[in-house]
Amino acid sequence: MQKEVLIAGAGVIGCLLGKSLKKKNISFKILEKNPQPFKNPSRTVALTSDSIRFLNTVDSKLDLNAWATPVNSMNLFQDAAQALSLDSDQEKISSICALDDLHEKLLNDLNDDISWDTAINSMNNDKLIEVSTSNGNYSGKIIIASDGTSSKIRELSGCNVEEWFYGQKAHVCLVKCQHNNEARQYFSNFGTLALLPLNIEDEEHYSIILCTNITSDPKTQLEHLNEKYNLSFDLTDVNFGDGFELKHSRATKLYENNVILCGDAANTFHPMAGQGLNLGIGDVMFINDNLDDILNLNQPTLDRYSKERSMRNLQMTWIIQSLYGAFGNANELGSLLLKSGMGMLDKMPVVKQKIIDFANRN
């Protein structure tokens, strides 16, 4: 089967790419290795205002502002002590939704465009891309790799990738709790604990993301933090499952011949800054805005894609690494310096607004 564009992977990024191509009447096929959408009801994402604007433009039926939970303030804690409080007079600072809900809404209208149970195994990328899958052969003018952090297409195309492991896992769960639309992030030597407000059928919950050492038992760790930070969560029914091993990966160039990398296949982040999906949506926004050039493999545009997106991703990597290094390893003196630095920042509303604006751009 020949299409103009092949998309590897039907995750959120692959589906969003499909939606934006469909709107422009470009023929495409999404090839997905799983037989059906992968579900994890406890997985949530914080969406920036850029992401919400773009998602609503690509599909007005998504209407994210109607159902995603707004975050009106974000408080950062160094251990139990509040270090920085971010809020904005101008608008909410982000919106939280369940990843499955967003995925399900994006899959609407795409069913005929996805070939499920179709793992890409090999690829020939001369003038035309030809891939052989567990479900037959497909060809296209270009292939967009949105097949996630361990991208097969990235490997087959020979794109160079830098990666390192944090020795941590992210564990997610939901607890019923009043949240007042406040998000919290606790940093300490154990790792990070993020609490994101999420309304599920009018009931308030916190979505918990605990990033901690691979060897720690997450439930015991959370019970300890629950007491230490006076959170008063009822953790009786919490079951964390396996968790997600955390790694950072970065392709040094985001295209190779007629292969273009996008989303986690291009860059994968520690979830501490809640930016991985948003930056992937930023990749799709670039492709959408420059589609004719991308389809014609215009070299200056592909170079610009690679440079601009890599620059944004490097900025975010630098922020994440600084937070990780500063908070994760703070000894007594370091901890004091950090506290006074954060205290100063907390008294600077203009700088705080700039942080919020930066975090809301993709």
Ligand X SMILES: Cc1cc2nc3c(=O)[nH]c(=O)nc-3n(C[C@H](O)[C@H](O)[C@H](O)COP(=O)(O)OP(=O)(O)OC[C@H]3O[C@@H](n4cnc5c(N)ncnc54)[C@H](O)[C@@H]3O)c2cc1C
Binding site for ligand X (CB under 6 A): 8-14, 31-34, 38, 45-46, 119-120, 146-148, 152, 170, 172, 209, 244, 263-264, 271, 274-278, 280
Contact 32, 171 (CB under 8 A): no
How many Cα atoms within 13 Å fall on the side-chain side of residue 52? 20
Nearer to ligand X, 125 or 146 (CB): 146
Contact 272, 320 (CB under 8 A): yes
Contact 212, 101 (CB under 8 A): no
State how far the Cα of 76 lies from the Cα of 84, in Å rounded to an integer.
Answer: 5
Nearer to ligand X, 147 or 330 (CB): 147
Nearer to ligand X, 105 or 330 (CB): 105
Contact 92, 70 (CB under 8 A): yes
Nearest approach, Cβ of residue 155 and ligand X (Å): 9
For ligand X, the nearest residue by Cβ is 11
Nearer to ligand X, 87 or 147 (CB): 147
Contact 262, 12 (CB under 8 A): no
Nearest approach, Cβ of residue 239 and ligand X (Å): 15
Nearest approach, Cβ of residue 75 and ligand X (Å): 16
Nearest approach, Cβ of residue 226 and ligand X (Å): 19
Nearest approach, Cβ of residue 255 and ligand X (Å): 16
DSSP 67-108: HSEEE-EEEEEETTEEEEEEE-SSS-SEEEEEHHHHHHHHHT
Nearer to ligand X, 10 or 231 (CB): 10
